[in-house]
Amino acid sequence: MVTKEATVKSSTGLHARPATLLVKKASSFKSDVSLEYNGKKANIKSLIGVLSLGVTSNAVVKVTASGDDETLAAEEVAKLIESITE
């Protein structure tokens, strides 16, 4: 299991469009990938799960990946979270 922290830089947090990008990115990996925020955890491969966390701007989230490509999955998803700025 690999865990990475990322800061949400988008001024609107992880709303529908960035959440959709995250789901697409996470779904490209074999590993189970989850997002943790405010004590709640959701599967990043589930759009409803990501949106249900209500991640706000400047929030620090934890990305956890477990599986064959866990290191790459955690790094790529964390990098994507930090790159979304609108």
Instruction: Tell me how far apart the alpha carbons of residues 20 and 14 are, in angstroms, rounded to a whole number.
Output: 9
15 is catalytic: yes
List the one residue out of 82, 73, 68, 54 whose CA is nearest residue 3: 73
Annotated catalytic residue: which of 9, 12, 15, 75? 15
Structural domain boundaries, residue 76? 2-83
pTM of the model: 0.94
Contacts of residue 24, Cβ cutoff 8 Å, sequence gap at least 6: none
Domain CATH for 16: 3.30.1340.10
- 77 CB contacts (<8 Å, ≥6 apart)? 4, 6, 22, 25, 26, 33, 44, 63, 65
Structural domains of the chain, count? 1
3-state secondary structure of 60: strand
pLDDT tens digit sequence for 10-62: 999 999 999 999 999 999 999 999 999 999 999 999 999 999 999 999 999 99
